[in-house]
Amino acid sequence: MFSTGNRRTGPNLEAYAMTVEQILLAVGVDPMQARLNTEGGFGWSFQRGSAVIEVYVSQQESSGYLQVLSPIMHLPQSGLLALYRRLLEMNLQLTNAALGVYLDVVYLFSERPLEGLDSVEANHIISLIAGYADDLDDKLVSEFGGRLYARI
């Protein structure tokens, strides 16, 4: 179970990180191999189907956050207006997730403050983003071109 920490020092990031690692183990991911070097927090990266999934437990100012994201595709050379419109339309259909673009890569992401977060909800968020990403990456590349992020 997650620890909320105290109001002076913020959330206990280590406790949240341990819970994320237990979730990763339960879905067949070795958290030690998946661990990323991050400043001021914890991170993991793993493959789910054709998608790369990244999970971060971090401190921003006085609050901690769970961030789950997936860089799903590189932007195509043309047809960006249609793609951007499709991404906006998809945003209204996604639950607890959103699509965005950063440095010419389409990302699927979910972010939630650590306060009040339990292991069941964290597991749900990680599984939700992994499922959406594995489904949407192939569909978007097929429809608009570009290339999957997971492929070089």
Going by pLDDT thresholds of 50, 70 and 90, the confidence category of residue 7 is very low
Kindly provide the b/e burial profile for residues 10-27, where b requires at least 16 CB atoms within 10 angstroms of the residue's own CB: bbbbeebbbbbbebbeee
The pTM of the full predicted model, rounded to 2 decimals, is 0.85
User: Which tens digits make up the pLDDT trace of 21-53?
Assistant: 999 998 889 989 999 988 878 999 999 888 999
Other C-beta atoms within 10 Å of 94: how many?
Answer: 15
Structure tokens at 87: 């991404």
User: Measured between alpha carbons, how far is 130 from 96 in angstroms, rounded to an integer?
Assistant: 12
User: Measured between alpha carbons, how far is 95 from 81 in angstroms, rounded to an integer?
Assistant: 24
Q: Is 69 exposed, middle or buried (0-12, 13-18, 19+ CB in 10 A)?
A: buried
More confident: 4 or 60? 60
User: Which tens digits make up the pLDDT trace of 82-139?
Assistant: 999 999 999 999 999 999 999 999 999 999 999 888 889 999 999 999 999 999 999 9
User: Which tens digits make up the pLDDT trace of 46-91?
Assistant: 998 889 999 999 988 778 899 999 999 999 999 999 999 999 999 9
